[in-house]
């Protein structure tokens, strides 16, 4: 896939962030070159504060001096702006379904995993583990026997789902989540995750595992310190 040079296209992100990765992967699928600007969220740049004054978070896509924020919104913008690989389905109902499941993973799934992982309350951890297990079962049932959530090719839901394939197992390792919610316990979801991680376009955009491990470990240390 030949890369298309887009003058003035910049992405503000954090390398270890699954949210930033979504956008990088979408741009890679489209073959659009961009300038990547690494942010330090402990010391946010003036550029980030200028172009995302409401949330002050990454990712932010700058295109022709205009800012687009929120990773799912950015992915749709990328899909509609550049020709080539189709990230979302063209048929309206299938497009609506893709949006639903992408939001399900981005909000319901990731939020539940995140709050369960970082709580030190045993009762909340147990309840959260049960909720995560049910969410993963729901995704397993939706995947059925498809290669990807969208069918035979990588699509919108899969891009958002890279969190489950790559970030979730590392988080599981760092914080010691119960084996009950290990992705290996969900055969179809696990096979999908391995298929996803084996794609060159995904591998080429993922951050080093050690960077993600270090970021999660630092967050765990901060959480531990906060409870003392």
CATH for 45: 3.40.30.10
- Per the listing, tokens 């270090």 go with 214
- Indicate whether 57 belongs to any domain: yes
pLDDT confidence of residue 155: 98
Count of structural domains, the chain: 2
Write phi, then psi, for 44 (nearest 5 degrees): -65, 140
Q: Which pLDDT tens digits describe the chain residue by residue (228 residues)?
A: 445 656 789 999 999 999 999 999 999 999 999 999 999 999 999 999 999 999 999 999 999 989 999 999 999 999 999 999 999 999 999 999 999 999 999 999 999 999 999 998 999 999 999 999 999 999 999 999 999 998 999 999 999 999 999 999 999 999 988 887 889 999 999 999 999 999 999 999 999 999 999 999 998 888 777 665
Which of residues 60, 81, 102 is at a domain's end?
A: 81
Are 208 and 100 in the same domain? yes
Looking at the structure, tell me whether residues 103 and 189 fall in a common domain: yes
Assess if residue 86 is contained within a domain.
no
Helix 187-197 to helix 122-143 angle (10° resolution) is 80
67 with 116, same domain?
no
The CA distance from 40 to 47, in Å, is 12
Q: Which tokens sit at 13?
A: 């992100």
68 and 176 belong to one structural domain: no
In sequence order, the 6+-apart residues with CB closer than 8 A to the CB of 54 are 69
Domain of residue 39 covers 5-81
Among 50, 81, 112, give the residue marking a domain's end: 81
74 and 174 co-located in one domain: no
Question: What pLDDT is recorded for position 178?
Answer: 82
Per residue, the 3-state secondary structure of 42-111, as one string, reads CCCCHHHHHHCCCCCCCCEEEECCEEEECHHHHHHHHHHHCCCCCCCCCCHHHHHHHHHHHHHHHHHHHH
The pLDDT value given to residue 89: 97
Residue 1 is predicted with a pLDDT of 47
Look up tokens 């390398």; give the residue.
15
Q: How far, in Å, CA of 20 to CA of 2, rounded?
A: 22
Same-domain status, 175 and 212: yes
Same domain, 77 and 96: no
Which pLDDT score is estimated for 208?
Answer: 97
- Of the three residues 33, 49, 81, the one that is the final residue of a domain is 81
């Amino acid at each position: 896939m030949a890369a298309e040079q887009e003058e003035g296209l910049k992405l503000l992100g954090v390398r270890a962030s699954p949210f930033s990765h979504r956008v990088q992967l979408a741009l890679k699928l489209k073959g659009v070159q961009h300038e990547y600007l690494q942010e330090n969220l402990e010391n946010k740049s003036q550029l980030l504060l200028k172009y995302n004054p409401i949330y002050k978070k990454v990712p932010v896509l700058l295109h022709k001096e205009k800012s687009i924020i929120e990773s799912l919104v950015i992915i749709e913008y990328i899909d509609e702006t550049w020709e080539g690989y189709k990230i979302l389905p063209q048929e309206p109902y299938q497009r609506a379904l893709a949006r639903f499941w992408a939001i399900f993973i981005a909000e319901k799934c990731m939020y539940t995993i995140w709050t369960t992982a970082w709580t030190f309350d045993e009762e909340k951890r147990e309840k959260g583990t049960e909720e995560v297990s049910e969410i993963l079962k729901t995704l397993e049932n939706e995947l059925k026997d498809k290669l990807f959530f969208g069918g035979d090719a990588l699509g919108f839901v899969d891009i958002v789902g890279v969190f489950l394939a790559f970030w979730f197992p590392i988080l599981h390792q760092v914080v010691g989540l119960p084996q009950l919610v290990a992705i290996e316990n969900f055969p179809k979801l696990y096979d999908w995750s391995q298929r996803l991680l084996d794609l060159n376009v995904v591998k080429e955009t993922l951050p080093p595992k050690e960077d993600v491990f270090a970021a999660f470990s630092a967050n765990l240390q901060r959480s531990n310190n906060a409870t003392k």
